[in-house]
Amino acid sequence: MTAKYCRDGEAVVALNGKWVAHTHTLFAALAFFGALIVGAQLHYNKIVQNEYYGYPEEWFPSVSATIGDRYPERSVFQIFIAITSGPRFALVCLWYLLTARPDSTLPKIVAGTGIFRTLTCGGWTYVTSTDDHDWHDIFMISYLLATLPWTLGCLALSPANRRAVKYRKILAGLFFGSLVPLVYFFIQHKVHKVAGAYTKYAFFEWSLILFDVGFDAVTALDFEALELVVRDVKGVSRGQLKTTADSIVEKEKDKPIGQTFGQAFSWSAAIDAAADIYNGFVFWSNFTSLGVVVWYFPLWHMGISGYEVAMLSTISPLIMEIPSMRSLAVRNAHVLHFLELVGLAAFLVEEPAYRLFAVSFSVSMGCLAWSATFYSERFQAIRLESRISSFAIGLVASNVAKFAFQTNNPVWPIMNSENGGWNKFGLLLGVLAAIRSSRRPSVSGGDYYSPSGKKGSTILNGLGVGGIIFGMHSLLSDSSTMISWVWEGFPIRGPIQVPHGTWTIFAMSAGLLFGFFYPRLAGSWTVFGIGSLGAALLTRYSHWTGFYGGLILAFYLMAATPVLFTAAVHHSPVSTFGVAFVVWVFMALFHVWVVAYAFVPGGPLVRERTDWVMTTLMLLIGAGVFSTAETNSSSGYSKQQFLNPNNRIQRSYFVYALGILQLFSVAIAYLRFPTNDYVPYHKDDKVVTAGIWTVHFGLDNDMWSSEQRMISLMREAELDVVGLLESDTERIIMGNRDSTMLIAEELGMYVDYGPGPNKHTWGAALLSKFPILNSTHHLLPSPVGELAPAIHATLDMYGEMVDVVVFHSGQEEDPEDRRLQSEYLSKLMGSSPRPLILLSYLVTKPLEGNYNTYVSDVSGMRDIDFTDWDRWCEYILYKKLKRTGYARISRSSITDTELQVGKFVVGQPESKKQKRIPEELVPEGLRFPALFRGEGVRGHHYHVFDEPRYYK
C-alpha cells in the first residue's frame, strides 16, 4: 500500500493488486503448512492413522486429517484461512475489474464462481469432517467442482501476458492431471485396502493445494498494472489490452470451437435450450420405462402375456405415410410433445394394465413428435441442430438422473413418493418446458441445408438411425450397464459403478460434441471402424480392456447421432424414423430373446448370442454411414452450420449444459463413493445372519419399484449376508437399472453383481457386511433350459475365511439340467475346505431327488432344518459352522417368494446331535427380531411355523 496525491492535493491510498495476490498466497500457505508442521509435531501417529493402517504403513497425513481432526493444528489453519479470506475476495474483485468488457457475461460468471469458491472454502474449513461429515463433503465437492469453471474462465480471460498465461497453463494442467492418480490411489486405499496407498493419495492431495494456490498466485503478474484507488493506471479494465480469450477468438474465428464461444450470453436463449433438453429428458424417461412396464406382465405370467404388443407403440411415425397425417403431425408437433407428458403422469394410475396403456400412449406420441420435429426442421440448421442436441443431451440428463437416484429414473411410472420418486416435480418441469418450447416458431432463421443433391438410400439411413437408437438405449441409458458387462467379481480388477459411471457419461458427452464439431470425421468409415473395435472389445473382454472398449463405443454412438439424424431428415420420415423404430423393436426383442430363449418361440435359435446382437448393431449403423456419406456431402452440413452467429450462440448453451451435467455426475460420484467400513449387526457375538431371496427384478406385485421396501425388510431382519436371485436388471426390459448397488449402498454392504447381462442369466447377486476377499462366477451345465448362475465367494467373517455360494438352479421343466447342476454344485462345495453357506434356489422337495445330491457326503453340506418339509425352491445349507437359528419371513406384496434367514456362529464347531430349544434359552444377540411376530410389520411376519426356530 502506498500514499498518493490527486491534482487538487487531496491524499488517497492506493492498494497495489500485486500486493493482494502475494498476501493471499502467503496466508494460504501459512494456513495449510502451518497446520501440517504443528500436527506433525504434536499428533503425528494420530493424523497418519486411517481406518485400515497406521504408522509405519502410512507415514504422511492427508489434508483433511491435518486441518480438521486435532487441536491446535485445526485452529492454526482456521485462523490463517480466515485472514486469507479478505485478500481472496479482493483478488476476485480485482480480477473482475481487470477482465470486465462491455456486453460480456463471462467475466461476471467467473467472478461469481470465484466468490462461490471462497464461500464454500469457508464451509469445509469451519465445518470439519468430525463436526458433520455430510456437510463437510458437500462444501468440499462444491469447491472442487467450482474450480473447473474458475480455472478455465481465468485462462480464457487472461490478459496477453505471456509469462502469466504460461504459468497458468502449467499449473492448471498439473492440477487436473493430479486428479487421475489421486482418484486411483484413493480407490486403492478405499476399495482394495492397499497398505501405503493413502500416503501416496495424501501427496497428490497436498499437490492439489500447491497447484490451486499457485494458480491464483500468478495473478500477481497481471496485477502489477492495477492499483485500487480506484483508478486504472494503464487502461487495462477499459478493454485497451486484449485478453487471451480475445486473441483466441480472433485466431480461431473461422473454426467451429472458436465460433461457438465467441458470442454474448443470453439468459433467455439459455432457458430455451434448457427447455428443449428437458423435452429430450421426458422422451428418454418415457422410452426407457416402456420395457419395464411391459416386462411386468410376462414376468408374472411366466411366459408370453400378450401385453408385449405395447412395444409396437414406438412405430407411430409410420402413420405419417398418409400425407394428411404427416402434415398434421408436423404442424402440431408441439401438441404431441405436450401429450408425451401423459407418461410422467402415469404414476397416478394404480392399475398396472392401465398404467402400461398410459406409458404406451406417451411413447407413441413421443416417437411421432420427435420424428415430426426433426423432419420439420430439415432446412433450418439452427433449429435442427438444437433439436438433435436436445434429443441426445436428454439421454445424458436421464443417465445423470439415474446416477443421482442410484438406479431408478425419479419420474418413471414405477416410482412414487413412497419409493423415492419425484414424479410431481418432474411433471411440473415437463409442463413448463413444453410451454417454453411451444411459444417459439418452428422456423427461426439462420443457415439453410440444401434440399438438392444426392440423398443416399432411404432405407439404409433408417436402418442406421434405428441402430443408433437401440445402441443408445441398450448400452447408454444407464452409466453402469457396460460396467456390469465387464464385471467378474472380487478382487476388483476393473471399473465399479461408482465412481467409474462418470467415465461413461463423459465419453457420451465428448462423443456428442465431436459429432457436432467434426461431422465429416464422425461420419467417416475410419471412425466407424474404431467404434466397431470398441464394440468387439466390450463383447469379448472383461475388466478394464472390455470397459475401454465400451467407452470407445459410447463415444462413437453419440458422435454418429448428429450425423445420421441430419442425413435422415432429408428423406421421408416414414422411411427413416418409421423404419428406425421398427428396427428398434426388432433389436429390443433380439436382445431379450438371447436370454429368454426358454420362454419364447424360436428362442433356441439365438440362445446366448449377444455377439450376434452386437454385430447386427454395428452392421445397422454401417448401413447408415454408407448412406449418410452421400447425403451430408451434398447438404453442406459440415460447412454452412458455422456461418451464422445465431447458430454458434445456440450451440454454446448445449455445450454448457453438457459441462454442467458432467460436473453433477462427478459430484454424485463423490457423494456416493463406497465407504467400505461396514459392520455386522451382532459383531460382539460373532453371529452371521444369512438370507436368500428371489426378488423378481425389483418390481413388486403392483408394478412399483420395490428396492426401498426390500431395503427396509433386510435392515429389520438384520441380514449380514444375503443372496438375491432374479437380480440382473441391466437390460431394456428391466430398465437398465442396478438395483443391487442401490440396496448395497443403503444397507452398507459390499456387493458382487454376479454374472453380467452378457452372460445370459436372470441374475444372482451377493451382498455382504463382511469383506469379500474373492469371488468366482459360474454358469452351471444347462444343455436344454435357462442358464443357472452361481457365485462362489470367500468372506472374511470376524477374521475367519468362510465361503458363501449363491445359486439359482434351472426350471422345473428341465430335469436333466437340474440333475447336472446338482452334481456340479455338489462337487464345487465339496472342494472347499472352509466353512460354507449355500444360499440357493434348488427346485426340489426336501429329502427327495436332487436334494440328496446337494446334501451328501460329496458336498459335506447339511440342511439348516431337514424337518421343514414345506419347501420347493429356496434352501439354506451349511457346513463347519454352528447353526443357531432359522426363520421364514413372508414377502407381503414385494415379490412371489419369501425371505429365508439362518443364523450361524463363526469359529465354533457344531455337534452332530442338535436339538431345538425355546427362544427363552437363546442369548439376546442370537435371537431374530421380535417385530415380525404375530401380524408383523407392513405384511411381513414369521410364517409356516409362525416363529423362528432355534438350535443347540
Active site residues per annotation: 808
Amino acid of residue 350: E
Q: Cα–Cα distance between 307 and 616 in angstroms, integer?
A: 26
Amino acid of residue 843: V
DSSP 859-922: TT-EES-TT----SSEEEEEESSEEEEEEEE--TTS-SSPEEEEEEETT-PPPS---EE-GGGS
Instruction: Specify the residue for cell string 430349544.
Output: 917
Region of 672 please: left (phi>0), alpha (psi -120 to 50) or beta: alpha
Q: How close are the terminal C-alpha atoms of the chain, in Å?
A: 84
* Alpha helical stretches, state H, 569-609: 573, 579-593
CA atoms within 13 A on the CB side of 902: 25
How far is residue 893 CA from its own chain's centroid?
A: 29
Query: 400 with 505: CB under 8 angstroms?
Result: yes
Number of Cβ atoms within 10 Å of the Cβ of 278: 23
Preceding omega of 806 cis (within 30 degrees of 0): no
Contacts of 660 (CB under 8 A, 6+ apart): none
Query: 30 with 245: CB under 8 angstroms?
Result: no
DSSP 604-619: GGGTT-HHHHHHHHHH
Query: 758 with 539: CB under 8 angstroms?
Result: yes
Query: 390 with 280: CB under 8 angstroms?
Result: yes
Output the nine-digit C-alpha cell for 232.
486504472
Beta bridge partners of 2: 14
Contacts of 145 (CB under 8 A, 6+ apart): 663, 666, 667
Determine which helix (DSSP H) or strand (DSSP E) holds 938, and give its type and residue range: none
CA atoms within 13 A on the CB side of 757: 29
Q: Cα–Cα distance between 880 and 834 in angstroms, integer?
A: 7
Query: 879 with 861: CB under 8 angstroms?
Result: yes
Determine which helix (DSSP H) or strand (DSSP E) holds 642, and give its type and residue range: none
Nearest to 460 by CA among 318, 308, 567: 567
How far is residue 816 CA from its own chain's centroid?
A: 41
Angle at 481 between CA 479 and CA 485, to 5 degrees: 135
Contacts of 284 (CB under 8 A, 6+ apart): 394, 395, 397, 398, 477
Q: How many residues does the chain have?
A: 952
Q: Cα–Cα distance between 761 and 724 in angstroms, integer?
A: 13
Q: Cα–Cα distance between 587 and 593 in angstroms, integer?
A: 10
Output the nine-digit C-alpha cell for 665.
455426475
Query: 885 with 677: CB under 8 angstroms?
Result: no
Nearest to 565 by CA among 817, 395, 750, 419: 395
Distances (CA, A) of 399 to 285, 465, 737: 9, 20, 10
Contacts of 418 (CB under 8 A, 6+ apart): 704, 708
Pairing of strands 862-863, 687-694: unpaired
